[in-house]
Amino acid sequence: MIGIVDYGMGNLHSVSKALERLNYDYFISENQDELRRADGLILPGVGSFKDAMEILRSEKLDQFLIEWAKSGKPLLGICLGMQLLFEESEENGETKGLALLKGKVRRFTGVTKAGERYKVPHMGWNRLAFHQEHPLLDQVEQGHVYFVHSYVVQAMEAGELLASSDYDVVVPAVVAKENVLGTQFHPEKSSSVGMKLLENFASIVTKEKEAKKIYE
């Protein structure tokens, strides 16, 4: 069972519909006691990093998510949800994140090194480039996925970068550190490539649940 964290800033409909297409059980909740029943969590996100963190802190969901990550259960951040996993963002002033992953979120400059301007936000389909193997990428094609974002993760640990795209700078597209996972793009809107990635996350959740039963 996957729990989708509802904190008022996530595209809950598209994520839940994607899980329905995969025939995987899920529920949506902002209640910590209910979310603890899940075997894995998805943290979606659309909007401002600062606003999102203020809501998470006000509802004490920030500490809940940190404790969840420490428990070893799978956690997948999507788009803004992925950015929240990192240390801080400069969006609307410096704001501390969950710091589950090392790295800082910075705005695209909108100007190349050659002085040419490019569009911000980064919106549309870009091709993935894989950097290392991981269960989250098992049998996922290095195809095109759908991005919508004005800010990009920088200064992250190279060993935690699974896949990237390019938009003047390297865009961390899929990241992972043990049970903490993230995608900058929207897998639920990324056709067969994104659906396979979500299917792999569901498989990770299932395997973790089964392993836990063995050791109980």
- Rounded alpha-carbon distances, angstroms, from residue 44 to 41, 82, 104, 181: 10, 8, 19, 12
Tokens at 83, concatenated = 């950015």
Q: Is 186 one of the catalytic residues?
A: yes
**Active-site choice (79, 122, 131, 199):** 79
Q: Which residue from 22, 72, 17 is spatially nearest to 44, judged by alpha carbons?
A: 17
- For residue 68, pLDDT beyond 60: yes
How far, in Å, CA of 133 to CA of 135, rounded?
7
pLDDT tier for residue 212 given thresholds of 50, 70 and 90: low
Asked whether 3 and 32 are in contact (CB, 8 A), the reply is no
- For residue 163, pLDDT beyond 60: yes
Q: Is 160 one of the catalytic residues?
A: no
Residue that the structure tokens 């640990």 belong to: 157
pLDDT tier for residue 214 given thresholds of 50, 70 and 90: low
* Helix or strand holding residue 145 (H, E): strand 144-149
pLDDT tier for residue 179 given thresholds of 50, 70 and 90: very high
110-120: average pLDDT: 92
CATH number of 2-215: 3.40.50.880
The amino acid sitting at 168 is D
Q: What are the domain boundaries of the chain? A: 2-215
- For residue 216, pLDDT beyond 60: no
Q: Is 188 one of the catalytic residues?
A: yes
pTM: predicted TM-score of the whole model, two decimal places: 0.96
189-206: average pLDDT: 97
Q: Which residue from 39, 45, 33 is spatially nearest to 3, judged by alpha carbons?
A: 39
**Active-site choice (122, 131, 149, 186):** 186
- For residue 140, pLDDT beyond 80: yes
Q: What is the pLDDT of residue 6?
A: 97
Q: Which residue from 128, 15, 138, 123 is spatially nearest to 77, judged by alpha carbons?
A: 15
